[in-house]
Structure 1
Amino acid sequence: MKQNIKKLSYFLLSTFVLLLFYLTYITFQQGEELATHPQNRRMAAKEAAIIRGTIYDRQGVSLAETKWQGQAGQRVYQTVEHVFPSAHVVGYVSERYGSSGLEAAYSKELLGLTEADAVENLLDKILNRTPRGNDLILTLDASLQSRALALLGNRRGAVVALDPRTGAVLAMVSSPAFNSNTVKDPEIWEQLNKAEANAPLLNRATQGAYPPGSVIKLLTGAGILANHVDQPEKTIDCPGYVIIDGNKITDNQVHHQVNFTKALALSCNTYFAQEGVKLGWHNLLDTFEKFGLNQNPDLEIPVRAGTFAVAERRNKSQLAETSFGQGDTLLSPLHMALACSAIANQGTIMKPYLVKEIRKPEGQVVRLTESSPWLSATTPEIAGLITQGMVDAVDWGTGSGASLKGIKVAGKTGTAETKNTQDPTSAPHAWFVGFAPADNPQVVVAVIVEKGGSGSKVAAPIARDVMAAALSGK
């Protein structure tokens, strides 16, 4: 009997020690994360007594602010024609449904609950003042956001515009957008979640998974040149198709003799399929990794990393298709914008960011985001050769729809076939990536229109107007 009691005592003591260790881990390792989690009800109650900081665009336009009415604060978002163009980036705050976007990522800062705010919070208690959180100043341009969303119209898709010199995201729009002001309404919330086909809550710019089509040729080309698979001036004959491993891959047309830059300008699948197979899986995937396609740039909002064919599917036919943007490859518009920025910035991808500054309500800067390199994707020489092909694409190739009067534009179109077994006649996705001015890049743009058709006819004109607006500052 005594022996059993002794064993029970040891068991209870061990359980107590384990529980103590677990509670210590929760408190010190996960305490802060759990305390500020969007679904934490205690956090919502605490927030009700704080004036949440304002979120501004790069020009000082208020995108989200708390308007205090009596004893309660109401979060108000800037809408244009009943939608919030920055909804997927800024997000929302709801007592019932939590928060998303930057509202969630920067909740502590917006509520003034960081360690740096401790003294001020103590003074607020002593002086019986209503606490106020810090403000965010974003890199986004509200007018550019509205313009990009308007250009997409009622079509599903996304636009990403960034400064290749700094990594600052100038625009990030996903269509359809939604109104963050109405998320708190249970009926609206249910509608947003039930709209599976349109998926309005999905940020297509960062989480969309699309076959890249011919825009991937920029990266395949970088791999070809880096690994000396072919010389830029060498020509091959394009009869309008290529046979790889017994499979006939049809091109968009007969291109006859093409070299590297002409193949890029005319988007010749035959050239990139042949040279991509010579490049091999190892070198192609290594190139994609150097451009960050399979990585998360830590943008502080959810980002889907790119995916490629699994090992057992990496045959020659799949390699050929992957080389010109078909096959099993799925990428987000953000990743293609970043990859294009490497070409614009002489081979270096700057780390993308959305928050330029965090400021106290009185205007004192708490944190300033400094630009920093993220990846060294390729060399300036290779970036220069690819740029020439992109300039030719806009001047006389497939990307002429993106040309701007008086400004040299570099661009690449893509028309990505969709694998829809239920609807084999489904239209392809329309892509365009490019930058301007080509000789002094200030803005990179990536556009996708889901099932939009031709990249040259649909996506290129959208990119043209977004680049024009970004360069003019309007």
Structure 2
Amino acid sequence: MKQNIKKLGYALLSTFIILILYLTYLMVQQGEALANHPQNRRLAAKEAAIIRGTIYDRNGVKLAETRWLGDHGQRVYFTAGNVAPFAQVVGYVSEKYGSSGLEAAYGKQLLGLTDADAVKNIIDKILNRTPRGHDLVLTLDTRLQMIALQALHGHRGAVVALDPNTGAVLAMASSPAYDTNTIGNPGVWTYLNNNQNGAPLLNRATQGAYPPGSVMKIITGAGILANVQVQPGDTLSCPGYVVVDGSKIADNRAHGTVNFIKALAVSCNTYFAREGLKLGWDGFIDTANKFGLTKSPDLGIPVRSGTLATGERRTQSQLAESSFGQGDTLVSPLHMALAGAAIANNGVIMKPYLVQEIRTASGSTLQRAEVSPWLTATSPQIANIITQGMLGAVEWGTGTGAAIRGVRVAGKTGTAETKTARDPHSPPHSWFVGFAPADHPKVVVAVIVEKAGSGAAVATPIAREVMAAALFEH
């Protein structure tokens, strides 16, 4: 009997110790994440008594603000027509559905509930004042965002525009968008979640997973120039196909004699497949890592890291196809914009950011974004050679639709095949990545339009419109 009591005591003591350790783990390791989780009802209860801070664009346009109706605050979002252009980036706040986007990522700051706000909150409580959170000033430009979204014409896709010199995100449009003001309306949430075709809640700019097609050649090209014994002037003959492991991989056409610059400008798959095979899997993966393709920059909102072929999938034919953006490679438009920014900024990718400042309600700056390098993708010399190929693409190659009068534009088109055994007639994704002015870049733009056709025909004119709008304010 005593033995049974002793065993029971040990069991209870062990359970008690495990419980203490688990609770300690939750408090120390998971406490911050759980406190800021979008579905945390305690945070929602606190918010009911706080005036949530306002979110502004870079020019002072209100993108989200709390308006009080009696004793109840209502979050109101900037709209154009029947959509909120910043829906997937700014996100939403809902008593029933939690929060998303920057509203979720900066919830504590917007509510004034950071550790630094503790004294102020105590004073507010003593003086019986309604607490007010802090404001966010974003890097986004409303005019540019609306132009980007309108240029997509409601097609599924995304546009990302960056300042390559600082990493500031100027536009991040995802289509289709939706009206965040209607989230709480009956049936709207169900529709948004069940709309599998449009998937409006998905931020395609950061979480879309797409084969990059030929825009990948600016990354592969950097690896080839850095690691393969090839000079920009070295030539090879493109018969319109390449044979790898006994399989024939067709090109878009026979390009004849090409060197690196021409191959990039006319988008010769054969050139990049052959040189990519010389680069090898190790060189290809190392180059992709240097460009941040498989990394997720700390942007505040969720970003899907790019993925490459793994394990037994790393065959020679897979490498050949991956070298020109097909195969198993999947990337987001943000990652391709950052790749373009690397070329525009002499090989250095600046850390991308969306929040420029955090301010008090009275306008005092609490925190300002620090401009800093994120990755060194390649050398200035190689970036310059790739720029020459991208200039050729716009001046006489596949990207002539991106030309802007009086401005030298560097760009790369991409047409990413989406055909499968189940859907052999699926149209390709349309891509373009470019920057301008080529000599002193001020803006980098990445565009994808899902299953819309060739990059030259569809994505390129959209990129041109966005770049021109960024360069010319009126």
Cα distance, 1:20 vs. partner? 2.1
Matched, 1:172 2:172: yes
Aligned partners of 1:217, 1:266: CA distance in 2, in Å? Answer: 11
Cα distance, 1:128 vs. partner? 0.5
Matched, 1:151 2:137: no
Unaligned runs of 5+ in 2: none
Q: Which whole-Å deviations, capped at 9, do the CAs of 1:333-376 have from their partners, x for residues lacking one?
A: 00000011100000000110000000000011111001110000
Aligned partners of 2:22, 2:219: CA distance in 1, in Å? Answer: 47
Q: Which amino acid aligns with 1:111?
A: L
Q: Which amino acid aligns with 1:267?
A: S
Q: Which amino acid aligns with 1:50?
A: I
| Equivalent residue number for residue 466 of structure 1 | 466
| Equivalent residue number for residue 12 of structure 2 | 12
Deviates more, 1:438-447 or 1:184-193: 184-193
With the length of structure 1 as denominator, give the TM-score of the two structures. 0.98
The equivalences for 1:425-444 within 5 A come to 425-444=425-444
Q: Which whole-Å deviations, capped at 9, do the CAs of 1:405-449 have from their partners, x for residues lacking one?
A: 000000000001003333211111100000000000110000000
Q: Are the counterparts in 2 of residues 266 and 398 from structure 1 also a CA contact under 8 Å?
A: yes
The equivalences for 1:3-152 within 5 A come to 3-152=3-152
The equivalences for 1:263-302 within 5 A come to 263-302=263-302
Q: Which amino acid aligns with 1:454?
A: S
Helix, strand or coil: the match of 2:27?
helix
Helix, strand or coil: the match of 2:76?
strand
| Equivalent residue number for residue 239 of structure 2 | 239
Q: Are the counterparts in 2 of residues 229 and 279 from structure 1 also a CA contact under 8 Å?
A: no
Cα distance, 1:308 vs. partner? 1.1
Q: Which amino acid aligns with 2:333?
A: P
The equivalences for 1:340-355 within 5 A come to 340-355=340-355
| Equivalent residue number for residue 306 of structure 1 | 306
Helix, strand or coil: the match of 1:201?
coil
Deviates more, 1:306-315 or 1:260-269: 306-315
Q: Are the counterparts in 1 of residues 228 and 275 from structure 2 also a CA contact under 8 Å?
A: no
Helix, strand or coil: the match of 2:13?
helix
Cα distance, 1:27 vs. partner? 2.5
Q: Which amino acid aligns with 1:278?
A: K
Aligned positions, number: 474
Helix, strand or coil: the match of 1:343?
helix
Aligned partners of 1:76, 1:31: CA distance in 2, in Å? Answer: 30
Q: Are the counterparts in 1 of residues 419 and 427 from structure 2 also a CA contact under 8 Å?
A: no
Q: Which amino acid aligns with 1:200?
A: P
Helix, strand or coil: the match of 1:243?
strand
Cα distance, 1:255 vs. partner? 1.2
Q: Which amino acid aligns with 1:170?
A: L
Cα distance, 1:316 vs. partner? 1.2
Q: Which whole-Å deviations, capped at 9, do the CAs of 1:92-130 have from their partners, x for residues lacking one?
A: 000100000000000000000001111111111011011
Helix, strand or coil: the match of 1:456?
helix
Aligned partners of 1:36, 1:192: CA distance in 2, in Å? Answer: 24
Deviates more, 1:349-358 or 1:229-238: 229-238
Helix, strand or coil: the match of 1:186?
coil
Cα distance, 1:60 vs. partner? 0.5
Deviates more, 1:283-292 or 1:21-30: 21-30
Aligned partners of 2:228, 2:144: CA distance in 1, in Å? Answer: 41
The equivalences for 1:444-463 within 5 A come to 444-463=444-463
Aligned partners of 1:212, 1:229: CA distance in 2, in Å? Answer: 26
Q: Are the counterparts in 2 of residues 229 and 278 from structure 1 also a CA contact under 8 Å?
A: no
Q: Which whole-Å deviations, capped at 9, do the CAs of 1:51-95 have from their partners, x for residues lacking one?
A: 000000000100000001111100000001110111110000001
Cα distance, 1:11 vs. partner? 2.0
Helix, strand or coil: the match of 1:296?
coil
| Equivalent residue number for residue 394 of structure 2 | 394
Deviates more, 1:370-379 or 1:247-256: 247-256
Helix, strand or coil: the match of 1:137?
strand
Helix, strand or coil: the match of 1:82?
coil
Helix, strand or coil: the match of 1:73?
strand
Aligned partners of 2:421, 2:292: CA distance in 1, in Å? Answer: 31
Q: Are the counterparts in 1 of residues 210 and 331 from structure 2 also a CA contact under 8 Å?
A: yes
Cα distance, 1:5 vs. partner? 1.5
Deviates more, 1:20-29 or 1:181-190: 20-29
Deviates more, 1:2-11 or 1:54-63: 2-11
